[in-house]
Each structure stands twice: as structure tokens, then as C-alpha cells.
Structure 1
Amino acid sequence: MDYLLDLFVKHWLPLTVTLMFVFVGLNLAKRLLFNSQKFPSNEHLFPRQLLMLALMLAAIIAIVVSLPLPSETQSEILKLIGLLLSGILAFASTSVFTNLAAGAMMRFTHPFRTGDFVRIDQYFGRITERGLFDCEIQTETRELISLPNAWLIGRPISTARSSGTIVSVNLSLGYDIHHSTIEDLLKKAAIDSGLEDPFVHIQELGDYSVTYKVNGLLKDVKNLLTARSKLYTSVLDFLHNNDVEIVSPAFMNQRRLADGQRILPQAAQPKQASKREPKQALAEDIVFDKAENAAQIEKRKEELIAQREELEKQLDEADKELKPALQEHINMLAEQITLLEQTPQEKE
């Protein structure tokens, strides 16, 4: 009996203790990494999975070292594990690691957030997802395009500021109308379309026409497409209603025109709204539905996390009588954050 006990203590006790520590440690790590409420977004899921994989690899090495085997055999097993890992890394595509590094860099630079309007080369749309390997944008045609992070990191990214962006339109008019008249009409058109602080620039003095650019500040950035269309419509209405012809003097037509005749469309009769007609939806509500949903979820999560952090600060300084109520409120906020994290995104 003493011999068996000595044999167990000498050869199998280290392995038993190691297995216990590995079992408890991995379960604790899994609980902390995947059930913790300290992570504001599902975008952190992949790094947590990588960390869990590294812990499992370390656990395998610890088990091999604690096995009651000769040191030469343990060394051969560890070399075999190293060869397997080297083979996996060698056969893996280099683009995977490039995109991973680019995604990590973009986490520090923060060139955009979920829901922002961005223009990257020929692509324009709203950000719907930010992953470690790629970012997804929803375009004006409601398509979802995934752009690799390595491709993004090497290109300039234009982001519309959430506090407001400039909406503008260029048009060419003849020299026969004074620029002050045009500037006044264009500013009024910008204000009528819902833009703030309008201003007009003369872009070019051409051989036959003057190029104007009217600009205005749009505070509600998520309605960018509708704001542009409203500005174009308002510019047409204000210029036509004030007998300003939107063609340069080089305009030619195959039919004969009387002297002094202008090319102006007749004013459309205002359409009476019918009670049966459904309310017309904004283009952004249809085109950028996924991006808007993702932006609202992200914003709500940030608000809940800020509330939870504030309550956690109050909990440390609160009296014993108030701590249970504060802790219950913190737990409720944590549950709401979890529900938002688990909100399914539309897959197409």
C-alpha cells in the first residue's frame, strides 16, 4: 500500500494537480471571457476566442510536462506540437494576418464608427459592422459590401461627422445675370431645403458660363440622401420661379425660338394630400436599414454602459442600505447590454 501511495505521489500526483488546475482555470476563463458584461460589443468576440485558444494551448503544454514520461519523450511531444503549429501558420494565408493587424490598428485610430457615412474610393454608404478582418458598408442601392481591413488601411477614408455635414450642389449659369442675384437665390433655396448657414462660392469663370456652388449645413446626417435631393429640387424651383434659365449661353436646340424666349418649365400645380395616401418613407429608412439599426444598437449600448459605470462609482461610496438597490440596478443594466449584444443582425 505504501508502495502504491509513493508511486502515485511521485508519478501521478503532478498530473492530477495539473489536470485540476487546467479544468478549473479553463472553466473560469470561459466564464470571464464569454459571460462577462465588461465588453460593449460582439466585435470583441473573436479576440476572446483567440485568447481562449492560447490558454488551451498552454494547458496542453502543461499537461505534457506533468506526464510521468522521460524527459526525452516529453521533449519529442513538445517538438511535435511545435511542428503542428508551425505547419498551421505556414499554410495559413498571409492576408489573414495582414487583415488582422489592420483591424487591430483601426481599433486604435477609430477612423469611423458604426452607422457613419463613409466614402472609400468608389464606395459610399453607411458602416454596418466593424470586424477584425473586414468592415461592412451598406450602399445607396441597399447592397452590403465587405471591405478587407488591409485594403481600407491603405486608402483615404472620408467620414461624415455625426455633428453635421455640408451638402452642396454645383451648377453653371450665364454671365447675363449678376452674381449677387444668383447668390441670394441659391442661399434662399438652401434654407428652404432645410439646411443651415448657407454660403455660395463661385467655382469657375468659364468661356460661356459661371460655375456656382451652394453649400449648407445638415445637422441630421442620417438623412443625407434626402437632403441632397431636397436641395436640388429647391434650387430648381427658386431659379425657375425667378425667371433664371439654368443653361449656359452655349445651349443649342434644333427648333427655332422666338427672340427673348426662355426655356423654363411650367410651374407644377401643388398636389393635394389625400388622407388615404400612406406617408412616404424617407429613402434612408429603406436604403440604410441595417446600418441605422446597427447604429441605434451601438448608441444604446454606449448609453447603458455609461450608466452602469456611473452606478458602479456610486456603489463604492454608497451606504450599506443603498448598496443592494444600486447593485440590482447595475445587474439590470448588464442584462440589457447582454440582450443588445445578442440582438441578431440581418443576414442577406
Structure 2
Amino acid sequence: MTIDIAEEFTAFLPLIISTFCVGVGLWMAHHIIIVRFSENGNEKLFSRQLIMLGLTLVSVLIIILSLPISESSRNQVIALVGLVISGIFAFSSSTIFANLLAGIMLRITKPFRTGDFVKVQDNFGRVVERGLLDTEIQTEGRDLVSIPNTYLITHPVTVTRTSGTIVSTTLSLGYDLSNSDVEKALLEAATNCGLVDAFVQIIELGDFSVTYKISGKLEEIKNLISARSALNKQVLDVLHSQKIEIMSPTFVNQRRLAEDFKVIPAKKVVKTESHAIAVEDVAFDKAEEAEKNEQYRLEITSQIEQMKESLREADEDQKVSIKSKIDALETRLKQTKSEVKEG
């Protein structure tokens, strides 16, 4: 009886040893490949996660080869595992696998980065994070929307340029107004709200009114939402201050009005409060934080790389000082990672 137990244990000994070694190896690989570089953000871990996936598949193969079974049975198990993996890829090709390949494509083409304003169909917001299978954006309503990567490569993606974008609004005015006066007033409105290189277009000559479009370049794109609202506000204020009536010529009212009566609200002095909150500070808080964290990590990583280069040519006294600085920077990186997780 004891001999039989010993023989059984001897037969399973290679499986036990290989399982233990594979487990320890995967654990060490996870800490070396993933954990040590996790402060660089999920986007930087994409290639390393693929490496871990490959190592896991190799580990499964090693365990199968160490099973105490005949060679023909082992080949059948390997064929079965291969068939299962192939089936998984085949059935998920339109979802998981397709999104994975789409994520690789997005990293190669780099159409946008963290913090950019993007619009895909009806979804508009700032990019928070680019994952393996989807991309997360934060909308104007402060909500987080996860868009599959396949959706991003099969639909046009509009990316707001960081160097500036055009902000515009349209309105209809009557034919009784001189277009030169209207153009002057609209350009003044665009200037008042901080737009540069403003221009006015006549979009349509309708049956009863003329459609104007005022546009200008916004250099600080982080204030995009506020700038659109500010432009509309300035258009109202400037036209009203110049006694230009914003109303359709087909307007009908049952009240009797004098011929020189203008439908313009009375001018009020509005005191601007210093504690006013910008829309973008509330709506895109997570996207703003993600962008700042990524830039901060990249700056610290660049400093660490430069110090490691100078460490090779430094003398012994300088090496101690440089190493302490590197340790301090690496600690700051880890602190940034923990703050992001807590947030």
C-alpha cells in the first residue's frame, strides 16, 4: 500500500513541481512586468499585458506536458486546449478580439490622447482613459461613457485641436437691417468673449430673414463649453445695446405696439461674482485630472531616465546623491498612482 502511494506521488511529482514553478514564475512576471510599471498608467501597460497573456498560455502548455498521462492522451489534451482557444477567438472575433485589435490600431495611429475633446456620433466629451477593449470619455453632464474600440475605428472621430478650435453661433435677422451694421456688432461680440480672428458669414437668404453666422478662434480649448455660451450671451448683449431687434419678421403679437417700439429687454447692470465656477471645472473634472496625472507621470519618468543616464558617468559621491533623487522621484510616482486609485 505504501509502495503504491509512493509510486502515485512519484508520478504526480513533475506536475506538482511544474505547477509550483509556473505559479511562482507568473507571480514574479506579474510584479516585474505589470506592478513595477503600473504607475505609468493603463495605456502604457498595453504591451506588457499582452506579454502576460502569452506567458499564461505558455504556462498552461507546460502544465499539460507535465501531466502523468500517455503521450497520445497528452496530444489529445493539447489539441482540445487549442480547439477551445481557437473557439474562444472565433466566437469573440466580433466583440472581444475585435476590440483588442482595434485598441492596438488606435495606439498605432494615435488619433487622440488623454484629455482631448472628441465627438463620435452623438457622444461628445473629453478622453479619460484608453483601455484594452474600450475608451472612456467624460461628457458635458459629468457622466462617464465607455465606447468600444471597434466603434471608434468604424465611425468618424472628431478631435478638437489643442492649438485652438472655431467657436460659432447662428441667428436670423430681418432684411431691414444693414448687413454691415450687423457684421460690426457680431465681430464686437466675438471680441468681447475672447475669440480671435473672428469672421461673419451670411449662411442663407430666406424668405423673411437673413441667417448670419459669427465664428472665431478659441485658443484655450479647455474652456470650449463656456466659450460657446459666452458667445451667445455677447451676441444678445451687443445687438440689444445697439438697438438691433432679434426677432423673426413674421412675429405676431396681440398687443398694440408703437411703430418705434423695440422688443429689447431693459439693460441691467450685472455684478460679476469672483467665485463663479466654470462649467468645465465641474463637467470634466475626471478628464482634467487624468490629463494632468499623465503629463505629471511622463515628466517624472523623463527625469528618472535622464538621471539614470547621468548616473553612468558620475563619480562615487555623485552616484549616492543621484540615486537618492531617483528614489524620491520613484516614490512620487507611486504616490501619484495611489492618489489616482483613491480618486
TM-score bracket, shorter-length normalisation: 0.7 to 0.9
SS across alignment from 1:52: helix
Helix, strand or coil: the match of 1:285?
helix
Do 1:126 and 1:138's aligned partners in 2 also have CA atoms closer than 8 Å? yes
Structure-2 separation of matches of 1:346 and 1:253: 58
In 1, Cα distance between the equivalents of 2:272 and 2:69?
Answer: 90
1:300 equivalent in alignment to 2:296: yes
Q: Which residue of 2 aligns with 1:140?
A: 140
| RMSD of Structure 2 on Structure 1 (CA) | 3.1
Residue of structure 1 in register with 2:187 after alignment:
187
Residues 161-172 of structure 1: matches in 2 within 5 Å? 161-172=161-172
TM-score under structure 2 length normalisation: 0.84
In structure 1, stretches of 5+ residues that fail to align are: 1-10
2:81 is aligned to 81
CA distance in 1, matches of 2:12, 2:97: 40
Aligned twin of 2:204: 204
Contact kept in structure 2, 1:297 and 1:340, CA below 8 Å: yes
Instruction: Describe the SS at the equivalent of 1:198.
Output: strand
Question: For residues 265 and 320 of structure 1, do their structure 2 counterparts lie closer, same or farther at Cα, with a shift above 3 Å needed?
Answer: same
The separation in 2 between residues aligned to 1:280 and 1:39, in whole angstroms, is 35
Match for 1:99: what amino acid? N
| Contact 1:37/1:338, CA 8 A, preserved across alignment | no
The aligned amino acid for 2:165 is T
In the other structure, the counterpart of 1:116 is 116
The aligned counterpart of 2:37 is 37
Return the alpha-carbon distance in structure 1 between the equivalents of residues 35 and 132 of structure 2: 21
**Could you give the per-residue CA deviations for residues 102-153 of structure 1, whole angstroms, max 9, x where no partner exists?**
1111111222222221111111111222211111222222222211111121
- In the other structure, the counterpart of 2:277 is 281
Give the fraction of aligned pairs with identical amino acids, expressed as a percent: 45
Structure 2 stretches lacking a partner, 5+ long = 1-10
| Secondary structure in structure 2 of the residue aligned to 1:175 | coil
Query: What is the deviation of 1:238?
Result: 0.7
2:8 aligns with none
Q: Deviations over 1:59-91 (max 9, x none)?
A: 342354456765334334433433443454456
Alignment of 1:1-348 (within 5 A): 22=22, 25-37=25-37, 40-45=40-45, 48-65=48-65, 70-86=70-86, 88-89=88-89, 92=92, 94-271=94-271, 279-344=275-340
Relative distance call for 1:272 and 1:304 in structure 2 (3 A) is closer
Change (3 A) 1:135 1:17: closer
After TM superposition, give the deviation of residue 18 of structure 1 in Å. Answer: 6.3
Deviations 1:160-199 (A, max 9, x none): 1222222111111222222222222111111111222222
Q: CA deviation at 1:233?
A: 0.9
Q: Does structure 1 retain, via aligned residues, the 8 Å contact 2:42–2:131?
A: no
* Partners of 1:29 and 1:199 in 2: CA distance: 59
Question: Structure 1: how far apart are the matches of 2:139 and 2:63?
Answer: 51
Q: What is the CA distance between 1:92 and its match in structure 2?
A: 4.7
Q: Is the 8 A contact 2:140 2:284 kept in 1?
A: yes
1:216 Cα shift? Answer: 1.8
| Stretch deviating more after TM superposition (326-335 or 233-242) | 326-335
Say whether the 8 Å CA contact 1:308–1:330 is kept in structure 2.
Answer: yes
* Structure 1 residues 324 and 24, CA gap change in structure 2 (3 angstroms): farther
- Inter-partner Cα distance in structure 2 for 1:31 and 1:298: 21
Q: Distance in 2 between matches of 1:19 and 1:99?
A: 32
Q: CA deviation at 1:97?
A: 1.0
> How far apart are the structure 2 equivalents of 1:288 and 1:19?
47
Paired residues of 1:37 and 1:334 also in contact (CA < 8 A): no
Give the deviation of 1:237 after TM superposition.
0.7
Q: TM-score, normalised by structure 1?
A: 0.83
Cα pair distance change 1:91/1:231, threshold 3 Å: closer
Residues 195, 23 of structure 1: CA spacing in aligned structure 2 closer, same or farther, 3 A cutoff? same
Distance 1:251 1:346, change over 3 A: farther
* Structure 1 letter corresponding to 2:312: D
Contact residue 169 and residue 214 of structure 2 kept, 8 A: yes
Aligned-pair distance for 1:320? 4.1
Q: Retained in 2: the 8 A contact 1:42–1:341?
A: no
Q: 1:45, CA displacement in angstroms?
A: 4.6
CA distance in 2, matches of 1:338, 1:116: 25
Give CA-to-partner distance per residue, 1:289-331, whole Å, 9 cap, x none. Answer: 2222212212212222222233233333434432332233223
